[in-house]
Structure 1
Amino acid sequence: MSFPLVRHRRLRRTAALRSLVRETVLNREDLIYPIFVTEGSNVKDEIASMPGVYHFSLDRLEEEVRDVVDTGVQAVLLFGVPESKDAEGTPAYDPNGIVQKAIRKVKGWAPELVVIADTCLCQFTDHGHCGVIHHHAVTGDAEVANDASLELLVKAAVSQAEAGADIIAPSNMMDGFVHAIREGLDANGFEQIPILSYSVKYASAFYGPFRDAAHSTPQFGDRKTYQMDPANLREALREAESDIQEGADMLMVKPALAYLDVIRMLKENFDLPLAAYNVSAEYSMVKAAAANGWIDERAIVMELLTGMKRAGADLIITYHAKDAARWIK
């Protein structure tokens, strides 16, 4: 049958009708809010390239946690900026490191809040890479050493679990990182702690503002030898499948906006919960355009996040989380 018998506009005629047949609904429970914690006291410093996002010292962190809880957001992702760094990222696995201290604080203030710990070395190494550096025996070139890095990442994950993290989220993109961390958690009595793997993490230009926030810009080279080529799609299947075989409980695609096809592909091929990371530059572009009066920020944010969920994301990590949670009716 065709027009005039079929009139698609019939179901768009009123707001109530549109709501009744809406296929994709964004919920507060879908959102995860990243927080940057730093050493020091009385610190609440806005990150210049990420308006509305702050560095918090531990003595100012509670106000942010209370605000998150008040919005109805049920999970946070913690990143730490340490006081000092070294070649092996020692503060990442220090029991009294900034992330470990923050985890204990947050769980004390809001036990019901799901605390996710980002597990990487880049914020804690003086060279800014996500693993330890070895020099090639012949050429002398600096290389990120995969297997040596795994040992330190396991130490970091275990220390975060000991501090009370509900979920470990390794973001380093070393080969075998899920297997190593799963074994390490299990051997230390943390069999119940799930792993949210940054399974498909691209070497993206969309991370720029985050590197300002986390003070994690590489001091030489780039991360293209371990993060994925943005041109590759099928490789994402291999990465995700490896992580599932190694014991991942949830998968992630990062970034989100330019990779909606990747999100859809993973959703269609795997049945694990799937997260999308709406990353820093995606956030900052919206904030910049809104500040110039070029866009309706609320409408744009809700459309973008709904698009990520429609593509297949079950969870969305986003710096818009608090605002979006307040806008959701």
Structure 2
Amino acid sequence: MPVASSPPLTLPQLKAFWRRSLQRCWQAWWLVLPGVLGRSGLEIGGPSGFFRSSGLLPIYRFVRRLDNLTFAARTVWQASAQATMTDGSPYRPVGRQAKGNQFIGEATELIRESDNSRDFVLASHVIEHVANPLRALREWLRITKPGGQMVLVIPHRDGTFDHQRPVTQLEHLRHDERAQVAESDSTHFPEIFCLHDLTRDPAAGSHEEFMQRTASNFFNRCIHHHVFDTALALRMVAEAGWRIRSVQLRRPYHILIVCSKPRDGAPLDNRCVLAQNASWRRRSPFPTDRLA
């Protein structure tokens, strides 16, 4: 009996496949893959479409074990039909197969994690929701093995509802760390009320609904405490002690940073990627980066 063949792809399907392939972060993918293939890691705030098979950095399928940490048993990013999570329940970032366990806690206090215990850390569109990002990045560094990786995705202000807000200064992040700012911090609420572009954030509802949601941020974690361009994102990661290995920028608003924990005695030198003439500045699709 002849085997039925699949119908050929139409021209629009071929174009969509080609655009998706070009958009993917292949440079970072080849860099990240050896650090996650068959290894054990922790994701913060997952799951993320960024790491799924259709995403820009499809790596979920290659990891051996992946646990996930979220701040609450239920978040606004969960599908409406998804059951409330319980601490220690199976974590299924893609499909029905469990990759690890789901844990509930703060990204800045990984109290159940031992030093140098994880091969890698993943965090996609999480750090902007954290009131004390330097503290979080140092905590993620603590649990990562020497030579292990962190894959960090941060929204660029130019493509988000933050585009009217000024870029946060690194000294402000340093101050937040010194002051041990907690997740209940409301410092940025007045600025957000004035400059958040609701036309780019339809899920926030009306202005009144948005103000109510922001006032309850400790319970929903929806706001972006800080505003990032690529330069600030890289300086923040370097400040926290990570060695930056790659940065890739993708529309509409993705800053993808791949970094590693320095091995004992290895120098931490990020001067090339932080330089004013760094190549990412010329290639950036975001106007703020090219004007800096």
TM-score (norm 1): 0.28
Compare the two structures and name the one with the higher helix fraction: 1
